Structure 1
Amino acid sequence: MLKKVYTALSVIIGLGLMTTAAFADGLDSLPPDQKKLYELLDPAIPLGGTPLKDFVAKRPPPWKIGYASTYAGNTWRAQILTEMNEVLLPKYKEAGLVSELVVTQSDLKDATQIQQMRQMVDDGVDAIIICCSNVTAINQTIEYAHSKGVPVFSFSGYVTSPYAINATENNTQGGYTAAKWLAEEIGGKGNVLTVSGIPGFASSDSFNVGAKKAFDEYKDITVVGDVAGKWTDQVAQVEVQKFLATNPTEIAGILVQSASENGVVNAVQQSGRDMMPIVLGGEASAACYWRNNPDFISKSFHFWPPRADARLVWDVMMRTLQGQGPKIQSILRPALPYTIDDVKEAIPEDCDPNSTAWIEPKGDAWWPADVAAQYFERPEDPLAWRPKK
């Protein structure tokens, strides 16, 4: 059943990142319902055990946390920072577990992110969160941080260093789910346009791998173009407008990686074409169009809900700092569907078509506490945890 997982294992072992014993200590330590989430995935994502399983923080709390972000120019990134600065940091400060959050932006430059991370380590942070980074470029820096007792946690994308924990959505599964739904939504035939994120980044490429696998199952579907929306509405709108203006062929549906679906909706409206099914990923602005046109699509998906993603990686980081012992190097979450009823509950009829907010999974659906406990050797509520005297 886990053929694809064992294919991934061979790749990882070939890279010299971990042994079969470490693998057995990783994925095989999870219960069957969680293992199923790993059946379709990027073959390079690490699935073995982690040296952080026995991690002990170098000092007691409150801990200083670093967030080495790669980009700040879209609504998704803005929501991440809002959740960290206005919700998570105050809550964990009050609990006496975190002292401060240091944030840097590298503007998609690996060398800058490397320098910023090394400076964080030298300045005494206790853990570093990274987002959407190159899968290999910062591995030496992650190892440097590990040598200084500073664990690194990647979200919305993965890194291949054995010294990091990836707490992320399963983007290959997400791409497959989205493309499969779109194919069925358009009756299994027609021309499809895909709008990627940033080519070369793990989240974007893994999503596209899954989407291609799904589309390949439909002989009457043709992907007639792919444009890079760069997870940014303004960029996606321009690129889709250019494509539609220079390609008169009929488009039956558009597969979009958030956060750029509102730009795609705007581009189609401005093109004068009839609206076709478009995959939505959570932007409230695009959901506003759906709210006012309920027959637009049958459902959509949470692929990487920003606030929930921030809570996921923060929870995994805190549990690791507390010595709860992560079982596996890559903790993956599945795409979650949502419907027009969920949209109506989340936003009003007079919703803002230019909103920068997002529709998120309800409650802790993205990372339930009972699920989180299954990924750690010694699980506890991280907010209730206190160091032993």
Structure 2
Amino acid sequence: MSTKSKKIVLLVTILITIASMIAACGAPPTQAPVATEAPATTEAPMTEAPTEAATEAAATEAPAAEGAPFTIGVSNPFISSEYRTQMIAELEEVNQEYMDQGLTTELVIESADTDVPGQIQQLQNLIAQDVDAILVNPGDVSGLNATLQEAIDQGIIVISVDQELDVPGVYNVGIDQKEWAKTSAQWLAEKLGGEGDIVQIEGFPGHPANVARMEGVAEVFAEYPGINILATDSGRWDEATGQQVMSNFLSAYPNMDGYWTQDGMAIGVLQAVMAANPAKWPQGVGEARCQYLKLWQEALTLNPEFDTIAVANHPGVSPTGLRIAVNMLQGKEVDTSKLGGANGLSFVLPVAAVITSENLEEGLAMCEGKPDAYLLDDILTDEEVVSEYFQ
């Protein structure tokens, strides 16, 4: 090989070596994009805790319970009563709590002065609207049974509020109406010393609550043979009607010793006594609503010897019944050992208040800031309902 050829070979060898070195030095930069694996770094924000706002939004959007929001219907056949007005207002107020939680929709309310066929139509309307539960304040002891059974057969939870029905599958939420009446009847019997001539002014004959109450009153007076019932008439749970009935009784029996009545009629009855202002006032009973308690105070200015009792029949049993319905719809299991009543399905609530001369001032304090029509009341909280009646 010539010297010139050797120089060429040497030059090519050097160039190849330099090229190899350059390639080796350039390798890491070409691998860098693979090593950084950009997609892995972008996953980090996804594992971070969500902001408070995001958490609240998620909580709001998430279903509160399987099947929620639930639709609850209300059937009320009697509106000419302060009790029912307060009941409906409180039902709407408590339902709003559950609407805010996403648990219920607006109440479907069927409310009007009507008879048994009219209330059956109310119930059929609610069934047709596919409600999940029905709260019914029944206007008859047994006239609604077939329609209520129809609702139950369609999987609707049925709760009778304020008054007990002995219907299989129907739950009841309310006070013990019989014991409620016996409380004031017992007080009257003892106040009269176990003897005397009295009159009775009842509510609607045949109405479940009235039937239970009059049975209780009869049981009490049966234990006092010295008590003679001169007459019984209906005041139809109306203040003005009660006043007229009592005025008639005062004319017919000016020497009567006492009277037993119930609900708002007690206001009209006492007004009739005060208007007549007989030489001897008959001894009577009343109801724990603000107007009656204030009238009681006024009566004392006319007759310092006047005395009475006022037992609360509180509308809060109905919104408490709504709370029970919502918890049942969520699938919570009722503790049946806590239930009683004729069909073993009654949530029996204690009365909200019993006012006598000893705690009249306390009762009047409960009325501060309340309208005269307000009935002393108590509504169980959701926590109290769950703690007391669910497993």
TM-score (norm 2): 0.73
Judge conservation of contact 1:196–1:204 (CA < 8 Å) in 2: yes
Structure 2: give runs of 5+ residues left out of the alignment.
Answer: 1-64, 340-344
Find the counterpart in structure 2 of residue 81 from structure 1.
Answer: 88
Q: For CA contacts below 8 A with separation 6 or more, give which structure has more relative contact order.
A: 1
Cα separation, 2, equivalents of 1:246 and 1:149: 54
Residues 133-168 of structure 1 deviation map (CA, whole Å, 9 limit, x = unaligned): 322211111121112221111012122221210112
Q: Which amino acid aligns with 1:315?
A: R
Residue 363 of structure 2 is aligned to residue 358 of structure 1:
no
Residue 249 of structure 2 is aligned to residue 235 of structure 1:
no
Judge conservation of contact 2:288–2:354 (CA < 8 Å) in 1: no
The DSSP-based 3-state class of the residue aligned with 2:141 is coil
Judge conservation of contact 2:115–2:139 (CA < 8 Å) in 1: no
The DSSP-based 3-state class of the residue aligned with 1:222 is strand
Tell me the CA shift for residue 252 of structure 1: 2.1
Selected match of 2:387 from 370, 373, 379: 373
Matched positions, count: 311
Q: Which amino acid aligns with 1:267?
A: A
Q: Tell me: CA distance 1:159–1:61, structure 2 relative to 1, closer, same or farther (3 Å).
A: same
Selected match of 1:324 from 310, 332, 336: 332
Judge conservation of contact 1:262–1:283 (CA < 8 Å) in 2: no
Find the counterpart in structure 2 of residue 62 from structure 1.
Answer: 69
Tell me the CA shift for residue 202 of structure 1: 1.3
Selected match of 1:115 from 118, 121, 135: 121
Q: Which has the larger radius of gyration?
A: 2
Tell me the CA shift for residue 315 of structure 1: 2.1
Structure 1: give runs of 5+ residues left out of the alignment.
Answer: 1-57, 379-389
Tell me the CA shift for residue 276 of structure 1: 3.4
Moved over 6 A (4+): none
Q: Does 65-74 or 182-191 show the bigger shift?
A: 182-191
The DSSP-based 3-state class of the residue aligned with 1:100 is coil
Q: Which amino acid aligns with 1:243?
A: F
Tell me the CA shift for residue 275 of structure 1: 3.7
Cα separation, 2, equivalents of 1:199 and 1:111: 17
Identity %: 23
Q: Does 165-174 or 131-140 show the bigger shift?
A: 131-140
Cα separation, 2, equivalents of 1:137 and 1:298: 36
Residue 350 of structure 2 is aligned to residue 341 of structure 1:
no
Judge conservation of contact 1:68–1:129 (CA < 8 Å) in 2: yes
Q: How do 1:5-24 residues align onto structure 2 when only pairs under 5 Å count?
A: none
Residues 162-181 of structure 1 deviation map (CA, whole Å, 9 limit, x = unaligned): 12101121111122221111
Residues 88-117 of structure 1 deviation map (CA, whole Å, 9 limit, x = unaligned): 122221121111111113524111111221
Tell me the CA shift for residue 189 of structure 1: 2.0
The DSSP-based 3-state class of the residue aligned with 1:63 is coil
Judge conservation of contact 2:66–2:330 (CA < 8 Å) in 1: no
Selected match of 1:261 from 266, 269, 280: 266
The DSSP-based 3-state class of the residue aligned with 2:171 is strand
Find the counterpart in structure 1 of residue 157 from structure 2.
Answer: 151
